[in-house]
A and B are shown apart, each in its own frame.
Chain A
Amino acid sequence: DAGVIQSPRHEVTEMGQEVTLRCKPISGHNSLFWYRQTMMRGLELLIYFNNNVPIDDSGMPEDRFSAKMPNASFSTLKIQPSEPRDSAVYFCASSYRGSHYGYTFGSGTRLTVV
């Protein structure tokens, strides 16, 4: 398996623009997680899905953020409109819920909003 695949690796956008981050989890994993990493706040869980259903979105900072998982092999995290304070590295991770195999992380998307 190629692991968790995220795209794009880097994204630079202007304030107010819509940004869409993409994630392909490991085949067979039934849980998918979106994290945000900043120097100030470390790694924060934004939202997670189990069997394509959002289970907990309490970490989503505000209504400008939305996430979808239309099928078991694809998820998006959208920010509309983007703001400079959204600049961070966004990680996607997947796991098989209830197993003891742990989480696998993607390489992340470094987002810069200018």
Chain B
Amino acid sequence: KQEVTQIPAALSVPEGENLVLNCSFTDSAIYNLQWFRQDPGKGLTSLLLIQSSQREQTSGRLNASLDKSSGRSTLYIAASQPGDSATYLCAVEDSSYKLIFGSGTRLLVRP
């Protein structure tokens, strides 16, 4: 059974810092890995999707990497801003096309 773990559970940083969020999964037989952002009381917004054959994806200040063999992904946020404060969720699409979520990292960027 696929399990997804995110570390840390919460993170507080001053504005301008570069930061890394970690995601690990137990079964390397994944189809895609997707990072989402969720603001309080809101839905999920897709940030980046990495196909199983890819190593990384970039969008603006965000960079996500994937090491399928070790079951790890990282989300790198450069020059963090208060507007980046949200919960970041990692999800893997397993071989049966189900999306399995981690419990998220709650990020606070302090002005």
Contacts and interface: CB of A to CB of B under 8 A. Distances in A.
Nearest to A106: B43
Nearest to B101: A43
Residue with the highest number of chain B CB atoms closer than 10 Å, among A31, A43, A48, A104: A43
Interface in B91-111: 91, 93, 96-104
A102 B49 contact: yes
B73 interface: no
Interface residues of A, number: 23
Secondary structure dominating the interface of B? strand
B32 interface: yes
Given A102-B34, A102-B49, A106-B43, A56 B98 contact: yes
Report the contact-size class of chain B (Cβ under 8 Å from the partner).
Answer: 20 to 34
B43 A102 contact: no
A91 B43 contact: yes
Contact of B101 (A42, A100, A108): A42
A42 B104 contact: yes
Nearest to A3: B43
Contact of A100 (B32, B89, B91, B104): B32
Contacts of B44: 91, 93, 105
Given A100-B49, A102-B49, A104-B46, A31 B100 contact: no
Contact of B43 (A31, A42, A100, A107): A107
The 6 closest A-B pairs by CB, nearest first: A43-B101, A102-B49, A105-B44, A107-B43, A100-B51, A42-B103
